[in-house]
Each structure stands twice: as structure tokens, then as C-alpha cells.
């Protein structure tokens, strides 16, 4: 408390009781892929290369541009082919920040569960992809990681050459999960190594689309009906009839429309079976809301558990959700229709307070994608 000796007016700056909740980032990706120990590394701006040390294996490396990836993992070449195309596709489609873990050989990916533990302390990661990992064991390791962390989703690649164009063949035994978007078919990109068109798992490019949509619209917008930049063709063309057999199971189709390669699916793996979380945008928005509220209410820990604290929590969370409603992320004509926050004596009776707990109940009405747009047209008799 300042000491005042002379009569007069004194103006003090008072810190806010609680700072507004800021939305967490949703577009940082985590990639794992093969980069051989003996890849050629760039040594100058003239694209000369030499046998220089590549980034340490099994350790996450922050990458914020394609140039930075080349400086740490090398340019397009045989020893990093799939991962390099995935990272290039990520940045080309709108990504701006990712963490990359390299392994030396394809066999090292059999230890994927342990490698994914490297991502656990990196709180900003919201998307996880292991381009080209299509075995059930590897894909379920990625799913288990996302379900454990609760703040990120996986982008999985469907089988490159499934035995049939059915959901079961494309999924090939991988379990359903609302924390996953699985995409099929593989795309085709220009490969500067072979100077030809080559197949590429789509997960890296699609992670970039996620980031692009987040930046242009918001996490609530489904990352679908979006062009995949850099894709020149599809390994397996799909028709509307093909997709009709895949969509209910949550296999997200990639299709060609007017020469453009587009994501034409917005579901989580399992589709209709995932209930309220059958859309990937719903899962990602819920993750965003949960993580933002978690990080934005840390001020409440160890505060006196009384009505004043309950009001501060209610006000901060309500203000945050009001902002989300105004941006179009929540459904309703009024804020009361879109969300509620209840933190009072009813949710915090004496026995709850004695356990050192504060309980706030929050409800949100999340917007869902307009997946089926139906126009009913009838012929009218002219008058």
C-alpha cells in the first residue's frame, strides 16, 4: 500500500481481477516421418549440397517455413521423400508452424507410441500426422495419443491401394474415434526428384488446409469444400456413388471438381456412430473451447472459494463465449440460446467447497456443417 503524506488527488493503476480469456492456437501441427541420416544438406543459396549433419533423430524440431525445413532435414530427395512433400504441402496450403520429429528408417516408426510421447509437453500442437502411416498399429498409436491429450486431433491417410472401394478396406481395421479425420484417396503431386507426377499421402497437405481455414474463417468452419494446393490428380478417382458408401462411416473423400482437387468430407472416423462429434469441426471447436477456458481461468487456482470468485469465473467464461458467438462459432439468435455458464452456490455447495473444488457448468450450442444442401423445386402454373 503506497504511503501518502501531502494532501491531494492520487491516481493508481489497478491490475484487473482476471484477464480476458484468449483463444488458444489451433493450427500448429506435429509431424513424424523418415529422414535418413545420410541426406544431402544445403550449404549455400546456390542450392549446393553436402554431407552435413541432419537434425537429431527422435527430437522435436520447430519448423516455421519450408526453407527452415530444408535447412534442418534437407531438400526433396530419396531419404526424406514422403515427409518433405508433406511439409511442403503443409506450408503451401496455409500452415505456418509445425513440430517435426524425424526417424532414420521406416522400421523406426514401429516405435511410434514412444515417439508421440515427445509431443506431449508441446501444448501448442493441435494436429498430429504421420504421413504414409497406414498400418492399424501405427494409426491406433496416433489415435491413442490424441485421445489421451484431449487437445488435438489426428489426420490419417487411407490405404494407398485398398482391396476394394469400401470403408472397411480403406480403414483396414483401424478403430473409430472422434479425434480423427481419415482421408482417401492419396493425392498426386509433382516430384522434382523423378521429374514426374508421384503419389503422396494427403495428410500433410490437409493439415495445411486445416490451418488455412482456421485463419480465414475459424475452427468452427469445417475444413471441407477446400482446394488442396499442389495436388494435380488423385491416385483413385471417386464418384458421388463411391462417396455415398464411404461417408456414413466417416471416410472423408477427396474428389475432383472442374479440375480442382477438393476435400469433400468433414467427418470424424466412425461418422454417424460418433453422435454429437461426427464432424471434425465440432471436435476441433470443442477442443479449442475446452483448452482456452482451461488456460484462461488459471487465475482461480488457490483463490478464496466464495461468491466473488464464482462471479469472476462466470463473467470471464461468458465474455469469451460471447465473442465466439459473435464470430459465428455458436448456434443461436441470442447469446442465451447459444451458451450458458453457471457457477454459483448451487453448483458449489458446502461439501464441494470442503473438497477444495469450484464447479462451473458450461453449455454450448456448436454450429454444424451444412453437409447436405437440399433445394425443393416445384413447377408452378403461370398466371
Annotated domain spans of the chain: 28-283, 297-383
246: left (phi over 0), alpha (psi -120 to 50) or beta: alpha
Structure confidence at residue 13 as a pLDDT band (50, 70, 90):
confident
DSSP summary character for residue 21 = P
- Supply the pLDDT for residue 42: 72
Question: How big is the chain, counted in residues?
Answer: 383
| Rounded mean pLDDT, 328-335 | 96
Cell numbers found for residue 75 = 531438400
Asked if CATH classification 3.40.50.720 holds for the domain at 28-283, the reply, yes or no, is no
- Supply the pLDDT for residue 1: 65
Query: What's the pLDDT tens digit per position in 348-360?
Result: 999 999 999 999 9
Structure confidence at residue 45 as a pLDDT band (50, 70, 90):
low
Q: Which residues contact 8 (CB under 8 A, 6 or more apart)?
A: none
Long-range contacts of range 305-313, CB-CB < 8 Å, 24 or more positions apart?
305/348, 305/353, 305/356, 305/358, 307/344, 307/345, 309/358, 310/343, 310/344, 310/345, 310/348, 310/358, 310/360, 311/343, 312/17, 312/18, 313/341, 313/343, 313/358, 313/360
**Backbone φ, ψ for residue 255 (5° rounding):** -135, 165
- Supply the pLDDT for residue 18: 65
CA torsion sign for 181, 266, 187, 71 is negative
Query: What's the pLDDT tens digit per position in 285-308?
Result: 999 999 999 999 999 999 999 999
- How high is the mean pLDDT of the chain? 94
pTM of the full structure: 0.92
* Percent of the chain whose predicted confidence (pLDDT) is above 90: 85
Does 329 have pLDDT greater than 70?
yes
CA torsion sign for 333, 335, 341, 342 is negative
Q: Are 97 and 31 in contact (CB under 8 A)?
A: no
Structure confidence at residue 169 as a pLDDT band (50, 70, 90):
very high
Among 4-18, 44-58, 266-280, which range has the highest average pLDDT? 266-280
| Rounded mean pLDDT, 274-281 | 96
Is residue 171 reached through a cis peptide bond, with omega within 30 degrees of 0 on the bond before it? no
- Supply the pLDDT for residue 33: 98
Q: Are 328 and 218 in contact (CB under 8 A)?
A: yes
Cell numbers found for residue 274 = 460418433
Amino acid at each position: 500500500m503506497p504511503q501518502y503524506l501531502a494532501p491531494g488527488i492520487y491516481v493508481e493503476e489497478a491490475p484487473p481481477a482476471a484477464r480476458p480469456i484468449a483463444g488458444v492456437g489451433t493450427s500448429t501441427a506435429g509431424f513424424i516421418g523418415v529422414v535418413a541420416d545420410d541426406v544431402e544438406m544445403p550449404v549455400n543459396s546456390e542450392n549446393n549440397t553436402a554431407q552435413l549433419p541432419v537434425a537429431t533423430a527422435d527430437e522435436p524440431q520447430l519448423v516455421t517455413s519450408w526453407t527452415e525445413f530444408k535447412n534442418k532435414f534437407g531438400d526433396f530427395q530419396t531419404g526424406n521423400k514422403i515427409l518433405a512433400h508433406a511439409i511442403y504441402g503443409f506450408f503451401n496450403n496455409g500452415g505456418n508452424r509445425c513440430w517435426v520429429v524425424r526417424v532414420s528408417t521406416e522400421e523406426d516408426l514401429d516405435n511410434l507410441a514412444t515417439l508421440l510421447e515427445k509431443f506431449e509437453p508441446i501444448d501448442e500442437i493441435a494436429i498430429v500426422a504421420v504421413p504414409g502411416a497406414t498400418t492399424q498399429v501405427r494409426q491406433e498409436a496416433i489415435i491413442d495419443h490424441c485421445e489421451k491429450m484431449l487437445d488435438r486431433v489426428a489426420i490419417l491417410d487411407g490405404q494407398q491401394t485398398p482391396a476394394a472401394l469400401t470403408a472397411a478396406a480403406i480403414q483396414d481395421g483401424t478403430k473409430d474415434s472422434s479425434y480423427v479425420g481419415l482421408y482417401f484417396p492419396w493425392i498426386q503431386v509433382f516430384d522434382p526428384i523423378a521429374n514426374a507426377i508421384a503419389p503422396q499421402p494427403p495428410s500433410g497437405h490437409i493439415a495445411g488446409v486445416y490451418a488455412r481455414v482456421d485463419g480465414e474463417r475459424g475452427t468452427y468452419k469445417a475444413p471441407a469444400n477446400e482446394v488442396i494446393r499442389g495436388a494435380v490428380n488423385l491416385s483413385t478417382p471417386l464418384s458421388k456413388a463411391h462417396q455415398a458408401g464411404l461417408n456414413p462411416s466417416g471416410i472423408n473423400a477427396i474428389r475432383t471438381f472442374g479440375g480442382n482437387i477438393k476435400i469433400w468430407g468433414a467427418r470424424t472416423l466412425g461418422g454417424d456412430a460418433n453422435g454429437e462429434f461426427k464432424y471434425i469441426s465440432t471436435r476441433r471447436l470443442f477442443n479449442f473451447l475446452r483448452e482456452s477456458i482451461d488456460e484462461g481461468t488459471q487465475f482461480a487456482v488457490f483463490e478464496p472459494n466464495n461468491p466473488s470468485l464464482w462471479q469472476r469465473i462466470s463473467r470471464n467464461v461468458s465474455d469469451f463465449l460471447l465473442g465466439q458467438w459473435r464470430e459465428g462459432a455458436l448456434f443461436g439468435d441470442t447469446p442465451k440460446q447459444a451458451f450458458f455458464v453457471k457457477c454459483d452456490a448451487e453448483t458449489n455447495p458446502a461439501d464441494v467447497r470442503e473438497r477444495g473444488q469450484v464447479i462451473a457448468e458450461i453449455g454450448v450450442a456448436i454450429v454444424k456443417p451444412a453437409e447436405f444442401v437440399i433445394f425443393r423445386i416445384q413447377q408452378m402454373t403461370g398466371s
